[in-house]
Structure 1
Amino acid sequence: MGRREETAAELRAAGKFMMDTGLAWGNAGNISARLDDSSFLITATGTFLGELGEGDFAECVLDGREPVAAGPKPSKEVPMHQAVYDLRPDVGAVLHASPFYSTLFACADIPLPSGLFVETMYYLEHVERVRYAHPGSLDLGEAVREKAKQANVLLLEHHGVLVYDTSIKEARMALQTLEMACRMVIESGSAGVRLKELPDPVRQDFLERSGYRPRRRWDR
């Protein structure tokens, strides 16, 4: 199995996981993964993430919107995926979706704490907001480009979320952690439960010494 086939298989599994766990719905959302230094594979326009087939992907190059070969039309959200891959050579996968609780945060002005539990410290150290721009527009691509180096999780205002990481697996875990954290904040508020964050020194010590991976150095 070649690189393209392996990547497509991983993306199909990720799409099904997202649909099965409520991280995606309908035909909303699009996902991609880097193939090499100059190209990436992205879901085709109008695809259903829970039932991706072998022909539901388009290969795109980083220096243009057009696919590298004839075939399915790539998602119109190529500009924001492209912006991330262009600025972040460490990123291997980009997931765009509209999970209920995360999208609620994207449509509201609610702070998202990162010090709730281990996974939020690990995956949600920095979460940035991206100003609204129409889906698929070059303007949205530029808005993402403005924030791509500052975080691995972006709340797209009045749209959804964009999560990216070194691999499809890591990006998927970050997306699931984001949705869990957003759900905890909303449901605890409704239940009158006051969440308590770990102190900042504890969070910093965890990020420096946890041993999961070297701490990211954000461009802020």
Structure 2
Amino acid sequence: MDIQQQLINAGQYLKANQLAWGTSGNLSARLDDHHALITASGTYMANLKEDDFVTFNLQTGTYEGTRKASKETPFHTGIYRVRQDAKAILHSSPFYTTLFACSSETIISELFIETMYYLEDIAYVDYYHPGTQELGDAIAEKANEANIIMMKNHGVVVFDDSISEALMRIETLEMACRMILKAKECGIKLNLIPQEVVTSFLEDSKYKPRKKKGENFQR
């Protein structure tokens, strides 16, 4: 399956699983060292077609084709420039994740297997207007620290070495946010996995190879 079709399927999956809505969000995938494919401006995640994508140059920031690239191209470009391992980027505003992005609530990763792995590191950036270079620069700066970047009062951007792993990351994030909120609503105290067990899981369990951070990241 080619990259474009994978992105089309990803958009449908995000909408079908309430991880995206309307035109809120954008997707991209690296094509080679110099180019990436990104959704065009104003596209609907659930109804992406072949002509809803634009090829853009990671060095110059320019794009090819008659459609206008997503206004969030600056932060897609920034991530690809600083993280050579990034092959796919998803930006969306899932309900529970965005609720947390609009609050000071902490997202806990020591809950279950998938949260330990996919939510090990989460970075945050302050609110900047969508599509601005300021937002792009802020996200690029945080991209060495984590594969999940919460955009305050906006949503989230996730990236990984494949589209499927990026989808798993955003879905795990939304489930964790929902679980934390539901526990608070019901007065249920969540029992966290001890940090030494988390470390053992990440380093020794062989669940999956632990994802590397950017070359400038210091744990």
Give yes or no for TM over 0.5: yes
Cα distance between partner residues in 2 of 1:165 and 1:135: 22
Q: Give the aligned residue type for 1:112.
A: I
Q: Equivalent residue of 1:94, what SS?
A: strand
**Is the contact made by 2:115 and 2:172 (CA closer than 8 Å) also made in structure 1?**
yes
**Is the contact made by 2:117 and 2:202 (CA closer than 8 Å) also made in structure 1?**
yes
Cα distance between partner residues in 1 of 2:84 and 2:53: 22
Is 1:89 matched up with 2:97?
A: no
Equivalent of residue 130 in structure 1, options 121, 125, 134: 125
Equivalent of residue 34 in structure 2, options 12, 35, 38: 38
Cα distance between partner residues in 2 of 1:118 and 1:127: 16
Is 1:9 matched up with 2:32?
A: no
Is 1:19 matched up with 2:15?
A: yes
Aligned counterpart, 2:48: 52
> Across the two proteins, how many residue pairs are aligned to each other?
215
RMSD across aligned C-alpha pairs, in angstroms?
Answer: 1.1
Aligned counterpart, 1:216: 211
Cα distance between partner residues in 2 of 1:142 and 1:149: 12
Deviation of the 1:178 alpha carbon: 0.2
Aligned counterpart, 1:29: 25
Q: Equivalent residue of 2:98, what SS?
A: helix
Cα distance between partner residues in 1 of 2:211 and 2:50: 35
**Is the contact made by 2:117 and 2:210 (CA closer than 8 Å) also made in structure 1?**
no
Cα distance between partner residues in 2 of 1:40 and 1:83: 12
For residues 158-192 of structure 1, what are the alpha-carbon distances to aligned partners after superposition, in whole Å with 9 as ceiling and x for unaligned?
10000101100000000000000000001110011
Aligned counterpart, 1:70: 65
Deviation of the 1:214 alpha carbon: 2.9
Q: Give the aligned residue type for 2:148.
A: V
Is 1:107 matched up with 2:92?
A: no
Cα distance between partner residues in 2 of 1:122 and 1:210: 11
Cα distance between partner residues in 2 of 1:119 and 1:71: 41
How high is the TM-score relative to the length of structure 1? 0.95
Q: Give the aligned residue type for 1:170.
A: E
**Is the contact made by 2:88 and 2:162 (CA closer than 8 Å) also made in structure 1?**
yes
Cα distance between partner residues in 2 of 1:98 and 1:24: 6
How high is the TM-score relative to the length of structure 2? 0.96
Cα distance between partner residues in 2 of 1:14 and 1:61: 22
Cα distance between partner residues in 2 of 1:143 and 1:107: 18
Q: Give the aligned residue type for 2:104.
A: D
Deviation of the 1:71 alpha carbon: 2.2
Deviation of the 1:43 alpha carbon: 0.3
Q: Give the aligned residue type for 2:34.
A: S
Cα distance between partner residues in 2 of 1:89 and 1:49: 26
For residues 32-79 of structure 1, what are the alpha-carbon distances to aligned partners after superposition, in whole Å with 9 as ceiling and x for unaligned?
001111110000000001000010000011112221x22211100001
Aligned counterpart, 2:153: 158
Q: Give the aligned residue type for 1:161.
A: V
**Is the contact made by 2:55 and 2:65 (CA closer than 8 Å) also made in structure 1?**
no
Equivalent pairs: percent with the same residue? 47
Gaps spanning 5+ residues in structure 2: where? none
